[in-house]
Amino acid sequence: MRIKQFVVYVALLILGGSVGVWGSRYWMETPQQEASQTPPVVPTTLKPFPFPAKSSPKTNLNFIAQAAQKVGPAVVRIDATRQVSEQMGETFEHPFFRRFFGNDLPIPREHVERGTGSGFILTSDGQLLTNAHVVDGTKEVKVTLKDGQVYQGTVLGTDPMTDVAVVKINATDLPTVDIGSADQLNPGEWAIAIGNPLGLDNTVTVGIISALGRSSSEVGVPDKRVRFIQTDAAINPGNSGGPLLNAQGQVIGINTAIRADAQGLGFAIPIETAQRVANQLLTTGKAAHPYLGIHMITLNPELRKELNEDQQLGFKVTANKGVLVVRVVNDSPAEKAGFKPGDIILKVGGKSVSKAVEVQEQVELSTIGETLPVEVVRKGKPKTLKVLPASFPTN
């Protein structure tokens, strides 16, 4: 019996691992079972693995996928380059160094900065909307469509105060977006962003409308004149200039990555603001913003107490709420209309206001050179001032 076992062991080594299971099983069997054991039959023909049949293309896409398919072809990538010159330090501007170095003063070095942003097609003949900061400092940009076609784009106009810009490419029969309304939005509605974040073309992100009417000062960009839409849809560098959509796939805003530290927060320029500015840029090449020339703050009881403790203010605040005029700019439309520090603004253009941002919003909607009635309270008495807004000074 030992000789027989040894022969079987040698046979197993010769046959290799393919019979390893059989060999292991053999050593567990009794001698009485040995004679009756026969190796299993290995089929000579192998059947293919039964993969499930391919399904037909999906027709029940959710609203996000439908919006992305609808708008995606009209979302473009914008690559801009600009020449940047490094200025000499103030030290080398000193007359002593100029006399010492003469013509050997260090030459300002120039280098090229490249940036990538997004945009979307408004008209089939190639008018695009994007952010002003995407194309800042250049007149020519490269525009790449979703299908890979590349065009040379011309910057027709930019408006830094609203961060809106218009670009034109020479093309026909282009896909376009549908325009919706930001005025009808409510917090909690769906929000879909499409753009090229971090250079990743036609990326779709989704969230909700988190808030409406965020003032420029609240967002941290006081130099802008925008009431921003806030969303938690991811908006990163490269998304700037792309569309923010509602659940129907209509454009309700222009995404703008204006806060690098905004974790989980995104902001968009309402489409009504963008359209109004774009129309001005297309017709005149620039956007004009009405200007009164006042510094104002929104009152509350704590602020009133603090102001009345300031001996240099020059007047006493008698109200706990409202919009207080703190300063009137010299030779401004407001000064010419008779505004005084201490005035409390109640209405602008016939519309009641209770916050400084609401005053700014109504002034922005007014027309330069046309009379704008402003109702104020001065020393407890109502007064209507008629002001002619001027164009915001550029310097």
Question: 370 vs 225, 273, 349, CA distance in Å?
Answer: 20, 20, 11
The verdict on 343 and 270 lying in the same domain is no
Task: Note whether residue 337 is domain-resident.
Answer: yes
Q: Where is the domain boundary, 263, 284, 305?
A: 284
| CB distance 152 to 79 below 8 Å | no
Q: What is the CATH classification number for the domain harbouring 225?
A: 2.40.10.10
| CB distance 265 to 244 below 8 Å | no
The verdict on 261 and 339 lying in the same domain is no
Task: Note whether residue 122 is domain-resident.
Answer: no
Q: How many domains does the chain have?
A: 3
The verdict on 241 and 306 lying in the same domain is no
The catalytic residue positions are: 133, 163, 240
Backbone angles phi, psi at 345, to 5 degrees: -80, 130
Q: What is the CATH classification number for the domain harbouring 362?
A: 2.30.42.10
Q: What is the pLDDT of residue 284?
A: 87
CA distance 220 to 27: 80
The verdict on 323 and 378 lying in the same domain is yes
| Helical ranges in 117-181 per DSSP H | 132-135
| Residue 160 CB neighbour total at 10 angstroms | 15
Q: What is the pLDDT of residue 88?
A: 52
Task: Note whether residue 358 is domain-resident.
Answer: yes
Digit-by-digit pLDDT tens for the chain (395 residues) are 544 454 444 444 444 444 443 333 333 334 444 444 555 555 555 556 555 555 555 567 899 999 999 999 999 999 988 765 555 555 545 554 455 445 555 555 555 567 789 999 999 999 999 999 999 888 899 999 998 999 999 999 999 999 999 999 999 999 999 999 999 899 999 999 999 887 788 899 999 999 998 888 788 787 788 889 999 998 888 888 999 999 999 999 999 876 666 667 889 999 999 999 999 999 888 888 898 999 999 988 888 888 888 877 778 888 888 899 999 999 999 999 999 999 999 999 999 998 888 898 899 889 999 999 999 999 889 999 999 999 888 76
Q: Where is the domain boundary, 284, 303, 322?
A: 284
The verdict on 295 and 279 lying in the same domain is no
The verdict on 225 and 277 lying in the same domain is yes
Task: Note whether residue 67 is domain-resident.
Answer: no
The verdict on 245 and 203 lying in the same domain is yes
pTM of the predicted protein model: 0.71
The verdict on 243 and 277 lying in the same domain is yes
The verdict on 271 and 297 lying in the same domain is no
Q: What is the pLDDT of residue 10?
A: 42
Question: 173 vs 141, 210, 300, CA distance in Å?
Answer: 21, 36, 55
Structural tokens at position 162: 């609203």
The verdict on 380 and 309 lying in the same domain is yes
Q: Which amino acid is at 19?
A: V
Backbone angles phi, psi at 191, to 5 degrees: -140, 130
**Which distant-in-sequence residues (6+ apart) come within 8 Å of 250 by Cβ?**
177, 178, 179, 180, 181
Domain range for 21: 2-32
User: Is residue 222 within a helix (H) or strand (E), and if so which, with residue range?
Assistant: none
Q: What is the pLDDT of residue 24?
A: 36
Task: Note whether residue 59 is domain-resident.
Answer: no
> 112 exposed, middle or buried (CB, 10 Å; 0-12, 13-18, 19+)?
exposed
